[in-house]
Copies of this chain bind each other. A is one copy, B any other.
């Protein structure tokens, strides 16, 4: 979609998460149009899926070309997956004005393309592009398209509202008519141009569709696709359908949603139904009191069911129980009523107002609490640092625990990272095995310019475990130093307490 592209690595991680969530098919890309997508299918050979089937996308063959000679179709075969999602024209306007072939030729192109892939052993899901608009103009022709796909051996015929033009009642009416005519499973594929993608998907299912296409967080061209993060709980919790394997899978929705935002370089949408930070927020006071007593009077579903939690906007900090859990895991016994804990949580809240976010950086939150409780003192303490950067060179010097270090890097953050770690691993050789496995930069404020506050998220690994930290500053170097220092201090603390237990 506009402005977003995923790295190969992130695409693999997302595929594995979707597999774990219980999604049936994962459309991994369009190997015929994009070499990066072909690379993804190759890489996925190293990551077997336990539940989902990997699918490659493509168009029906070009006019005047035999299916066996069509580059696009052969790229699907080359991607060596078991499932193809094939898109074809079903709106007579597109057949005539865009494709510029006769209605009969288009039917042949669809039949031949599906047949060719079926003959090579693939399962074929056929996406009938612009089906609903096509149906409104010429219902007979669109029905012939659907039947042709069925006859050619498609395992599902998917009705697509490609322009996102439809309203829910039209989707229900038209889908009902098509389902009646078909023996093959009918699917729906909705876009959000009228703001109805989720509702239209639900209406399609109510009309008998049993295959649903969508994207995580609705990410897609223009206004996006149907958001599976909203569609799935609607189907499971409100219509009682078995869209996932179990209710336990549903609890993964928030984590999946957040990971995809992060990989896309987007901030999560706090207003997103079901999984957003504000989705189950309640104003403090009488109302919040009411909520704790009669939750079903104020919440359409239990937030825990989708991996979310209730939030009271004033007073209590959401997630305090999370932090307690972390501390107990580490062997610190702190009770909920400990005034030092309360104090630490207030500090965390203050920092969150300044742009920190501990959702993805529990290690930094744990360090704040431990410092506040006074059981722990950072092993590594920076005396000062300085970076000099120009178009040729980046060099950093740093003084840590009284020791000087210096290093060059490919950028200012890389230079300070190397300088800081050179001293740290001299002082604590165990840090030699610690690597940075993830590094993200987000501008959390509403106004974004070069003066903005920068939030840096880091993930570390020592080969056995992974931990995440956060740093915030108007200087990306200072924010990176803070996150880096937290990351090193965290593992030193863990090792220290492990040793003493």
Question: What B residues does A239 contact at CB under 8 A?
Answer: 167
Partner of A273 from B194, B203, B280, B457 at Cβ < 8 Å: B194
- CB-defined interface of A171-193 with B at 8 Å, one 1/0 digit per residue? 01000000000000000000011
Chain B residue nearest to A98 in the complex (CB): B290
Question: What B residues does A382 contact at CB under 8 A?
Answer: 391
**Residue A404 at the chain B interface, CB threshold 8 Å:** no
Distance from A319 Cβ to chain B, minimum over Cβ atoms (Å): 12
Question: What B residues does A293 contact at CB under 8 A?
Answer: 97-98
Q: Which of A130, A290, A389 has the most CB of B within 10 A?
A: A389
A360–B199 Cα distance when bound, in Å, is 30
Distance from A224 Cβ to chain B, minimum over Cβ atoms (Å): 5
Say yes or no: A2-B167 contact (C-beta < 8 A), given A199-B200, A450-B409: no
Distance from A218 Cβ to chain B, minimum over Cβ atoms (Å): 8
Chain B residue nearest to A383 in the complex (CB): B391
Chain B residue nearest to A7 in the complex (CB): B446
Say yes or no: A439 contacts B413, CB within 8 Å.
Answer: no
Chain B residue nearest to A269 in the complex (CB): B269
A222–B281 Cα distance when bound, in Å, is 6
**Residue A486 at the chain B interface, CB threshold 8 Å:** no
Question: What B residues does A193 contact at CB under 8 A?
Answer: 273-274, 279, 300
Partner of A281 from B2, B91, B437, B441 at Cβ < 8 Å: B2
Say yes or no: A360 contacts B3, CB within 8 Å.
Answer: yes
Stretch at the interface among A72-80, A117-125, A468-476: A468-476
A300–B192 Cα distance when bound, in Å, is 11
**Residue A53 at the chain B interface, CB threshold 8 Å:** no
**Residue A376 at the chain B interface, CB threshold 8 Å:** no
Partner of A169 from B163, B172, B475 at Cβ < 8 Å: B172
Which residues of A477-495 are within 8 A (CB) of B?
Answer: 477-478, 480-481
Question: What B residues does A265 contact at CB under 8 A?
Answer: 440, 442-443, 446
Partner of A227 from B164, B195, B436 at Cβ < 8 Å: B195
**Residue A304 at the chain B interface, CB threshold 8 Å:** no
Say yes or no: B386 contacts A97, CB within 8 Å.
Answer: no
Say yes or no: A450 contacts B477, CB within 8 Å.
Answer: no
How many copies are assembled? 2
Partner of A411 from B7, B97, B230, B477 at Cβ < 8 Å: B477
Say yes or no: A7 contacts B389, CB within 8 Å.
Answer: no
Question: What B residues does A476 contact at CB under 8 A?
Answer: 411-413, 441, 476
Question: What B residues does A447 contact at CB under 8 A?
Answer: 9
Partner of A222 from B278, B301, B387, B417 at Cβ < 8 Å: B278
Distance from A475 Cβ to chain B, minimum over Cβ atoms (Å): 3
Which residues of A309-323 are within 8 A (CB) of B?
Answer: 313, 316-317
Say yes or no: A7-B444 contact (C-beta < 8 A), given A94-B297, A410-B474: yes
Say yes or no: A196 contacts B198, CB within 8 Å.
Answer: yes
A239–B168 Cα distance when bound, in Å, is 12
A380–B164 Cα distance when bound, in Å, is 44
Partner of A202 from B168, B439, B446, B452 at Cβ < 8 Å: B168
Which residues of A1-48 are within 8 A (CB) of B?
Answer: 1-3, 5, 7-9, 33-34
A193–B3 Cα distance when bound, in Å, is 27
A436–B451 Cα distance when bound, in Å, is 10
A407–B316 Cα distance when bound, in Å, is 37
Say yes or no: B93 contacts A279, CB within 8 Å.
Answer: no
Q: Which of A273, A283, A478 has the most CB of B within 10 A?
A: A273
A268–B3 Cα distance when bound, in Å, is 15
- CB-defined interface of A430-461 with B at 8 Å, one 1/0 digit per residue? 00000111111111111111111010010000
Say yes or no: A234 contacts B195, CB within 8 Å.
Answer: yes
**Residue A326 at the chain B interface, CB threshold 8 Å:** no
In the A-B complex, the 4 residue pairs with the closest CB atoms: A199-B199, A411-B475, A165-B300, A195-B230
Q: 21 A–B contact pairs at CB < 8 A? A: A2-B270, A3-B270, A3-B360, A5-B357, A7-B446, A94-B297, A163-B299, A167-B238, A168-B168, A195-B199, A222-B279, A223-B273, A265-B446, A267-B448, A384-B390, A389-B412, A411-B450, A411-B451, A411-B477, A439-B449, A441-B443
A residues in contact (CB < 8 Å) with B? 1-3, 5, 7-9, 33-34, 91, 93-94, 97-98, 130, 163-165, 167-169, 172, 192-196, 198-200, 202-203, 206, 218, 221-224, 227, 230-231, 234, 238-239, 265-267, 270-274, 276, 278-281, 283, 290, 293-294, 296-301, 313, 316-317, 357, 359-360, 382, 384-391, 394, 409-414, 416-417, 435-452, 454, 457, 473-478, 480-481
